[in-house]
């Protein structure tokens, strides 16, 4: 940033300095030429033809330098076929003249004569009573003009160099000061990484504060996921400890029912592993801000799968087809599969699925015409391994998985009584995905 600013400042000041030099040099040169034009006009106004047919001045020109030899200021009057009439300052020299053109208007040019760079102003005039075209010339050495231009350019260069240095230093200080919060943030992140602080603290500028908030939110999210991972590992270890102990005791005692015990406890361990794996997958996918799943394709897919398992059950659906929930499709299918299969398994033969949206949440209601669940058991049924109907096969983990996965996505699952079918109504609410 500093190098780019320095290059841009240098480029702009160089262009501006060149333009200003052209303007001021032109103004000084015009002022110099104006003085020469004034002297030339004075010569022409005071010139007349004497009785000998030569040019004479009826009054002396005012500048004393015309009388000093090689003073640097000269005048000269010349005509075709007549002797040149020149100022004393020219002494034994004469200004160059060209008869190849006429100068009806003022003609100003530079000429290098007798080791001096001269600024010459000339004009052709026909004086009254004379048939000759007289050329009036005034010349002055450019030493004074060049000295003024040199002084001007030195001043411009020094001023613009000082200005450039000041601007570059200011840009450098501004960049350094502007990026200082980022350096502070880097040190704060370093302290966070080394465990010195649990989060980034301290006042930050308004431009950095949103990023600090997002970083703190990311740290909190990672801490939460790490804590969930530790809790899941502990829960899984605790869940597997008892079956393993039973198997080891039976094997040590060489019990007669050892094979049956191993199969039974292995099934228990498998159910626990499946439950925790499902929850771990949902936790891992939850961090993605792009988690989106169209609700209706999932409903139709689950409806077809359950209809093949329970062909005697009638499944009806209703609701808009364009709703999208903030959840992974695989997790939505798993939740819907558990709920619809339970409704088909424990219901009386009719299942009604309604999809809607309310207050930023996609709401899915699964109703059946079964016996329902008593209100006192509607919370306990979500615990792992709890089953109210032991006459049908199951693990008791379905609703527990549904609740855990829904909560991971900031959703909810509640059990109610169906007013239309008389059985159980499961109300699943998931955040609606924004476009």
**Domain annotation covers residue 158:** no
For the residues 55-81, what does the mean pLDDT come to?
86
Specify whether the CB–CB gap between 346 and 311 falls below 8 A.
no
161 vs 192 pLDDT, higher one: 161
pLDDT band at 279 (very low <50, low <70, confident <90, very high): low
Domains identified in the chain, total number: 3
Domain of residue 344, CATH code: 3.30.565.10
CA pair distance 369, 100, nearest whole angstrom: 121
pLDDT at residue 435, as a whole number: 58
| 94 and 51 housed in the same domain | yes
Domain of residue 260, residue span = 226-286
| 234 and 328 housed in the same domain | no
**Domain annotation covers residue 354:** yes
57 vs 236 pLDDT, higher one: 57
| 402 and 336 housed in the same domain | yes
**Domain annotation covers residue 200:** no
Boundary-marking domain end, from 109, 132, 149:
149
**Domain annotation covers residue 169:** no
* All residues at 6 or more sequence positions from 164 whose CB lies less than 8 Å from its CB, including other chains: 9, 10, 13
pTM (2 decimals)? Answer: 0.48
| 299 and 269 housed in the same domain | no
| 265 and 297 housed in the same domain | no
The string of pLDDT tens digits covering residues 339-360 is 999 899 888 899 999 999 998 8
Q: Tell me the two tokens of residue 301.
A: 């897919």
Q: Where are the beta strands (DSSP E) in 34-190?
A: 47-49, 55-57, 73-78, 85-86, 107-113, 116-125, 134-141
pLDDT band at 208 (very low <50, low <70, confident <90, very high): confident
pLDDT at residue 54, as a whole number: 81
CA pair distance 122, 48, nearest whole angstrom: 17
For the residues 255-278, what does the mean pLDDT come to?
78
CA pair distance 48, 77, nearest whole angstrom: 12
Boundary-marking domain end, from 149, 167, 193:
149
Helix/strand/coil for 117: strand
- Flag the least confident range among 231-235, 308-312, 378-382: 231-235
**Domain annotation covers residue 414:** yes
Domain of residue 101, CATH code: 3.30.450
| 303 and 422 housed in the same domain | yes
**Domain annotation covers residue 48:** yes
The string of pLDDT tens digits covering residues 369-413 is 988 888 877 777 776 544 444 444 443 346 777 888 888 888 999
pLDDT at residue 391, as a whole number: 43
Length of the chain, please? 435
Q: Where are the beta strands (DSSP E) in 26-179?
A: 47-49, 55-57, 73-78, 85-86, 107-113, 116-125, 134-141
């Amino acid at each position: 940033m500093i190098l780019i600013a320095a290059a841009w400042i240098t480029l702009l000041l160089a262009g501006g300095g060149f333009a200003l030099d052209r303007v001021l040099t032109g103004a000084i040169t015009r002022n110099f030429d104006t003085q020469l034009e004034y002297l030339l006009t004075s010569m022409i106004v005071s010139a007349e033809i004497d009785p000998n047919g030569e040019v004479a001045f009826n009054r002396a020109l005012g500048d004393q330098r015309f009388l000093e030899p090689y003073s640097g200021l000269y005048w000269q009057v010349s005509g075709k076929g007549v002797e040149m009439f020149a100022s004393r300052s020219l002494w034994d020299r004469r200004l160059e003249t060209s008869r190849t053109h006429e100068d009806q208007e003022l003609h100003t040019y530079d000429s290098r004569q007798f080791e001096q760079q001269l600024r010459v102003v000339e004009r052709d005039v026909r004086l009254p009573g004379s048939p000759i075209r007289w050329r009036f010339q005034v010349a002055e050495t450019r030493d004074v003009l060049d000295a003024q231009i040199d002084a001007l350019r030195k001043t411009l260069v020094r001023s613009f160099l000082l200005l450039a240095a000041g601007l570059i230093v200011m840009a450098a200080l501004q960049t350094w000061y502007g990026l200082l919060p980022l350096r502070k943030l880097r040190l704060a992140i370093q302290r966070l990484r080394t465990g010195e602080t649990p989060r980034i603290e301290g006042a930050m500028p308004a431009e950095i504060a949103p990023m600090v908030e997002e970083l703190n939110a990311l740290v909190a999210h990672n801490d939460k996921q790490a804590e969930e991972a530790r809790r899941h590992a502990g829960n899984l270890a605790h869940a597997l400890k008892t079956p393993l102990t039973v198997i080891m005791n039976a094997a040590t005692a060489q019990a007669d029912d050892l094979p049956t015990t191993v199969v039974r406890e292995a099934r228990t361990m498998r159910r626990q592993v499946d439950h925790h794996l499902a929850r771990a997958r949902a936790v891992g996918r939850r961090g993605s801000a792009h988690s989106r799943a169209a609700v209706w394709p999932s409903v139709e897919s689950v409806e077809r799968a359950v209809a093949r398992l329970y062909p005697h059950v009638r499944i009806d659906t209703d609701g808009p087809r364009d709703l999208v929930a903030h959840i992974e499709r695989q997790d939505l299918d798993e939740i819907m599969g558990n709920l619809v299969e339970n409704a088909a398994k424990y219901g009386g033969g009719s299942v009604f699925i309604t999809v809607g949206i309310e207050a930023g949440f996609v709401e899915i209601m699964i109703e059946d015409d079964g016996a329902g669940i008593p209100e006192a058991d509607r919370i306990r049924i979500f615990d792992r391994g709890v089953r109210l109907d032991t006459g049908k096969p199951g693990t008791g983990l379905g609703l527990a998985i549904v609740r855990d996965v829904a909560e991971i996505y900031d959703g909810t699952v509640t059990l109610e009584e169906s007013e239309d079918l008389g059985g159980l109504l499961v109300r699943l609410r998931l955040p609606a995905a924004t476009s």
